[in-house]
Every structure is written in C-alpha cells, then in structure tokens.
Amino acid sequence: MALLTDVGTYLDAATVATADLTLGTNLFLGREPDDPDTCVTLYETGGSAPDDTFGGDTAPSLENPSLQVRTRAAAYSTAQSLAVDVWALLAKVINETLTSTKYLKISPVQSPLALDRDDQDRMIFVCNFDVVKVP
C-alpha cells in the first residue's frame, strides 16, 4: 500500500486535538486544495535507498521513504498546534501495521517549523519524517 494512503488513513482514524481530520475534507494526499482554510496535506519526499539483505537475488527487505506534513490555517497558532499534534502522533509509530503495511518507525527529522504564508495570508507549517517500512 502507498505511504500516503497508509499515513492518511492512520491520521483519519486518530484523535487529533486541534482538528478532527477526515480524508478528502481537511486531510489531503499529495495535493493541497484552495479550501478549506485549515487543513493537513501529506507529501512523499525523496527518502533514502532501500536496505538489502544478503545480496542481489531478493527484493530489498526494508524501504526508507520520507514524508512531509504540511499544515495550513488562518491563525498562526492554529497551524502550529495542528502541526505539533500531527508530529506527536506520527512520532509514536513504532512497529505498527498501517493499513496492511508494517512500519518499523516514523521518525521526525525536526520539530514543526513555520514555513511561510500563502497568497491568502494563511500560515503554513511543515515537518519532515524519515520512514522505515517493510515492502
């Protein structure tokens, strides 16, 4: 299953203090729409090479993708709180199956940071994660 779908489904089912996240309503995968003002968007980013085990005859035993979470809201504090809530939820993923894929770890690369304001003056926060999963 795809990384974005797995993580999106996980966040959709989770309790997020700042906003109840629902896929397609205020939680989006790979594309951030103009509306609503307050939302979370997940993006796949580069990652690193997969880990091979015992040579070239088998598929890699672990994949190492990476993920960016982008939060947006009209108020700085709302965008920041939402980013921190999602960051904390994903940082807790250790040896869990999301959808049907085993995730060994979702590790924050840094704490959420203020990126910019968009053309409608809404605040944007981002945080990045390294992921280790079993293909």
Q: How far apart are CA 50 and CA 113, in angstroms?
A: 28
Share above pLDDT 70 across residues of the chain, in percent, rounded to a whole number: 90
User: Is the confidence at residue 119, as pLDDT, over 60?
Assistant: yes
Residue 101, beta-bridge partner list: 98
Closest CA to 48 of 109, 114, 89: 109
Q: Which of the four pLDDT bands, split at 50, 70 and 90, describes residue 49? A: low
Mean pLDDT of 103-108: 97
Share above pLDDT 90 across residues of the chain, in percent, rounded to a whole number: 83
> What is the structure's pLDDT at 52?
67
User: Quick one: CA dihedral 81, 82, 83, 89, positive or negative?
Assistant: positive
More confident residue, 34 or 54: 34
- Whole-model pTM: value is 0.91
Mean pLDDT of 73-102: 97
The ranges assigned to domains in the chain are: 3-43+69-127
Beta strands per DSSP E along 32-112: 39-51, 62-73, 94-98, 101-108
Q: How far apart are CA 98 and CA 113, in angstroms?
A: 26
Residue 104, beta-bridge partner list: none
